[in-house]
Amino acid sequence: MKILVCVKRVIDYNVKIRVKSDKTGVEKDNVKMSMNPFDEIAVEEAVKMKENEIAKEIVVVSIGTEACKETIRSGLAMGADRGIHINSDEDLEPLNISKILMKIVENEKPDIVLMGKQAIDDDSNQTGQMLAALSGFSQATFASKVEKVDSFLNVTREIDGGLETLKLSLPCIITTDLRLNEPRYASLPNIMKARQKKIDSIDVSTLGLDLSPRLSVIEVNDPPERKAGIMVKDIDELMEKLTNEAKVI
C-alpha cells in the first residue's frame, strides 16, 4: 500500500504572530517556520502504518518556496521514503492546493492520502475535503484513530457529540486531529538517512493548471485586545453588571 502525506510549511505554532503594518498579511520574514503540527501527526501515522506493515511506501509532498524542502526532509527523517516538492512562490488558496494535489494523486496513485485537518496559519480546513471531491476518494476528517480491518480502514472521528467511527474503502483521504498520535523526535541517524532520500522538484507552472485566485484578502487585523477583568464587591454588583453592562442575562 502507498501513502501520500501532504505537509505545509507554516509559522511555528509558538511564535507570536505580528500583523504587517500595511495590513496585507502577517509578518513572515525572520520568523521561525515549522511543519504544520497536524501534518506532523499525519506523517507519524503513516510511519506507524509502515512499521506495522500496512503500508509499503510513504511519499511526502509539499507546495511552496524552496525552503519547503527542509519541511519535506523533516518528514523523511521521521521515516517517509521520498519527497515531492511543488515549487511556487505564490500564496495559494485551498482549492488551488487541492487541484495541484489532485495532479500528484493522479501520478502517484496512492491508496491513502493523509493530511492535517487544517493548517494553523490560515485555519481553512478545506483542502482535504476539496481533494476528496476532486478525486472521488472516500473521506474521513478529524481522525483520532485509524485501524485496518480486512481491506477497509476504520477511522474514529472527533465530532461535537463524541466519537463516530467510519468504515472506509480504499483509496481514501484522512485528515488528522490532535489526539491521533504524538509525533516522534528525529534522531541523527534517521536525519542522515533522510539526506539520501530522493526529493523530486516540479515547477507548478508545468502542471498546466488554472490557479488564478478566487479569493482576495481585503485586510488583516490583530484580534481585538481583551479588556482587563474587574473585581466586583458582591453578588448584587455581579448581577447588575451582567444584566446592564454585559447584557447576557
Footprint on this chain of another protein (rule: CB under 8 A): 12-15, 30-35, 37, 40, 67, 69-70, 73-74, 77, 182-188, 191-192, 195
Q: How far is the CB of 188 from another protein (least distance, A)?
A: 4
150 backbone φψ class: left, alpha, beta (φ>0; ψ -120 to 50): left
Kind of pairing between the strands at 199-203 and 82-87: parallel
In the bound state with another protein, the residue whose beta carbon lies nearer, of 185 and 221, is 185
Q: How far is the CB of 14 from another protein (least distance, A)?
A: 4
Contact in structure between 202 and 107 (CB atoms under 8 Å): no
C-alpha–C-alpha distance, residues 133 and 86, integer Å: 21
In the bound state with another protein, the residue whose beta carbon lies nearer, of 46 and 77, is 77
Q: How far is the CB of 77 from another protein (least distance, A)?
A: 8
What value, to the nearest 5°, has the Cα angle with vertex 67 and ends 206 and 198?
65
Q: How far is the CB of 104 from another protein (least distance, A)?
A: 23
In the bound state with another protein, the residue whose beta carbon lies nearer, of 188 and 248, is 188
C-alpha–C-alpha distance, residues 144 and 156, integer Å: 6
Torsion of CA 56, 197, 9, 120, to 10 degrees: 20
The three three-digit cell numbers of residue 181, written as one number: 498520535
Distances (CA, A) of 56 to 3, 52, 113, 144: 8, 10, 14, 22
In the bound state with another protein, the residue whose beta carbon lies nearer, of 73 and 117, is 73
The three three-digit cell numbers of residue 184, written as one number: 516522534
In the bound state with another protein, the residue whose beta carbon lies nearer, of 148 and 184, is 184
In the bound state with another protein, the residue whose beta carbon lies nearer, of 189 and 229, is 189
In the bound state with another protein, the residue whose beta carbon lies nearer, of 34 and 138, is 34
Q: How far is the CB of 67 from another protein (least distance, A)?
A: 5
Q: How far is the CB of 244 from another protein (least distance, A)?
A: 36
Cell numbers 527542509: residue: 70
Give the list of residues 6+ apart from residue 149 with CB closer than 8 angstroms, or none.
167
Q: How far is the CB of 15 from another protein (least distance, A)?
A: 7
Our measurement of the distance from residue 161's CA atom to the centroid of its chain's CA atoms, rounded to an integer in Å, reads 24
Amino acid present at 17: I
